[in-house]
Amino acid sequence: MSTLLGATDARLGATEFREIGGIVHDVAGIRLPPGKESLVRSRLAKRLRARGVATYAAYLELVRDARGDEAAEMVDALTTNKTDFFREPAHFDFLRERVLPSLGTGSLRVWSAGCATGEEPLTIAMVLREALPDLARRDVRVLATDLSRRALARATAGRYGDAAMEAVPSVLRRAYFTRDGVGWTAGPALRSLVTYAPLNLMREWPMRGPFQVIFCRNVMIYFDRATQQRLVRRFHDLLAPGGYLFVGHAESLSGVQHGFRYVQPAVYAK
């Protein structure tokens, strides 16, 4: 009977939901607590269709097959990639007015950890371009990483529709993007500053650092306390003394032990 159902109608049993939650937690650190069943069904319906299976039992067989990469596809489909240009704008005012003047004139490394579709690293790049008159003479780079290859492919393409671009002031839009019939493309002044790379925050990090600034916003909210704790320690290790960590406004570090100094909501200094 179930093979006659469309993938969106496939029944997700409690055991299957638990198994999916276990895999997503092991691979990406993401929690899928009870109550997220309908989210899982809506996000995975496309994967079931793509793989031509009509039940979660059949789908999980593909996921368990270590020779395929369906586990990675499944985790990717279950990530939440919502983001915006100038999201939580107080952070970018603080970056421009307080952080950049405090860092001197040496090389500058900024990491957007969990950059989703790229609005955050491009916002950082616009702030750097606007705020650093000596940028051309300095070694300045923004690293933008995400676990989701789907989101990262969009970030790398650097193309955005009118709705996304509404958050970008028109003077910056004109300075840093080109427009064609379908949307806007980030231009070389921004793209030359940003390097995109896939990276799972739960695994080894190939970068040695140090970074002067790390943005990890609206990512840790999906992790449990122990995972947040480990991650915040690793960010601390990778930051230069005097460097800054920005987290999402819904993600205070209360309950997490850390060596940072609290500066203002969702901003911490080493």
Ligand X SMILES: C[S@@+](CC[C@H](N)C(=O)[O-])C[C@H]1O[C@@H](n2cnc3c(N)ncnc32)[C@H](O)[C@@H]1O
Q: How far is the CB of 156 from ligand X (least distance, A)?
A: 13
Q: Report the nearest approach of ligand X to the CB of residue 216 (Å).
A: 7
Category of 35 on φ-ψ map: left (φ > 0), alpha (ψ -120 to 50) or beta? left
* Contacts of 93 by beta carbon, 8 Å cutoff, 6+ apart: none
Total residues at the site for ligand X (CB under 6 A)?
25
Least distance in Å: CB of 214 to ligand X?
Answer: 11
Nearer to ligand X, 91 or 109 (CB): 91
d(CA 239, CA 205): 13
User: Are 130 and 171 in contact, with CB atoms under 8 Å apart?
Assistant: no
Per CB under 6 A, 219 contacts ligand X: yes
Neighbour tally for 155: CB within 10 Å: 26
CA 243 to chain centre: 20
Which residue in the set 45, 167, 202, 253 belongs to the binding site for ligand X (CB under 6 A)?
Answer: 202
Q: Is 70 in the site for ligand X (CB under 6 A)?
A: no
Stretch that binds ligand X, among 5-13, 113-121, 128-136, 250-258 (CB under 6 A): 113-121
Q: Contacts with ligand X in 160-179 (CB under 6 A)?
A: none
Binding residue for ligand X (CB under 6 A) from 118, 158, 243, 248? 248
Catalytic sites, residue numbers = 43, 146
CB proximity list for 204: less than 8 A, separation 6 or greater: none
Among 54, 108, 116, 127, binds ligand X (CB under 6 A): 116
- Of 9-17, 18-26, 56-64, 145-153, the segment contacting ligand X by CB under 6 A is 145-153
> Of the two residues 243 and 248, which places its CB atom closer to ligand X in the complex?
248
Contact call for residues 232 and 224 (beta carbons, < 8 A): no
Residue type, position 70, single letter: E
Residue type, 20: I
Q: List contacts with ligand X (CB under 6 A).
A: 28-30, 79-83, 87, 114-116, 120, 146-148, 151, 200-202, 217-219, 222, 248
